[in-house]
Amino acid sequence: MNPYLDIHPDVQQALSKGRAVVALESTIISHGMPYPQNVQTALAVEAEVLANGAVPATIAIMNGRLVVGLNRQAIETLGRLGTQAMKVSRRDVPFVVAAGQTGATTVAATMMLAAMAGIRVFATGGIGGVHRGASESFDVSADLQELAQTPVAVVCAGAKSILDLGLTLEYLETHGVPVVGYQTDHLPAFFTQDSAYRLEHRLDSAHDIARVMRAKWAMGLAGGVVVANPIPAEFALPRSTMDAAVEQALSEAAAQGITGKASTPFLLARVCEITGGDSLTANIRLVLNNARLAAAIALAYQGFLAESG
């Protein structure tokens, strides 16, 4: 066992007994939305996982410890810290641990810590990807490389709509990461149900997705799986509305020289302001939707493992 890793007793018991566990990230708490909605949403997502038969494990670094399964006090702490909390990706983990600091984990770092604990399914809002203008900036999210090497299935509403979706798909293809559309033939664009990009693979049940996961890892194939789960239609925003909001936010970010890790929180916050808060409501609904599907996939995957002994 990793000497820096602390697993919540409820999560450890579930893993030991072969029960379904769903990992959850913490940057959605600190950087994804304002307080107190961030804490309320984090607790609601955990409750959604529990209600659908799996055990939630929200992941972060607390006082230099890799924590898999935050208690309520830790979630509240991250929620109140907000963007003052460190945003921790894979490269940052050893520095935060060595300094005994507290930080919220991105998709990449959450995948890494989930894999350390033996968790194979992770629910989030949207993955990072290739940023617009990457041909000049080389700004590509570490989430994509983590997906290429870490055996965790990530249930998301596609890639964040502030990104270059076409190049994101190309990058994933190059690195052999399967992108599965759940009951859809097109890549969801976070706040909207679809995009102009058609997917190679569609599966219509959690059982079928879990079967692909088992086959991939049983063959020794490295890396994860992206499960693209569209936001429910009743909460989706019009594509034209989102496109206009994203373009305005991108223009403002460029004018202010905002780049790197600061860009995603800035862009999401500005899109929320431009849409009058509609994007925040949609964000919460899509995360809950992803938690439900992730729980179903985790249950099906554990069922396959039990059958194989």
Instruction: Give me the active site residues, please.
Output: 25, 160
Residue 266: other Cβ atoms inside 10 A: 18
Count the Cβ atoms, other than its own, within 10 Å of residue 89: 21
* Residue (of 46, 43, 28, 37) closest to 83 by Cα position: 28
* Residue 91 φ/ψ, nearest 5 degrees: -65, -25
Name the residue with tokens 């994933």: 172
Q: Angle at CA 189, nearest 5°, toward 269 and 173?
A: 120
Could you tell me the CA-to-CA distances from 233 to 12, 129, 157 in Å, in that order? Answer: 36, 24, 12
C-alpha distances (whole Å) from 59 to each of 95, 114, 149, 206, 309 are 17, 8, 19, 23, 29
- Work out whether strand 121-123 and strand 86-88 pair parallel, antiparallel, or are unpaired: unpaired
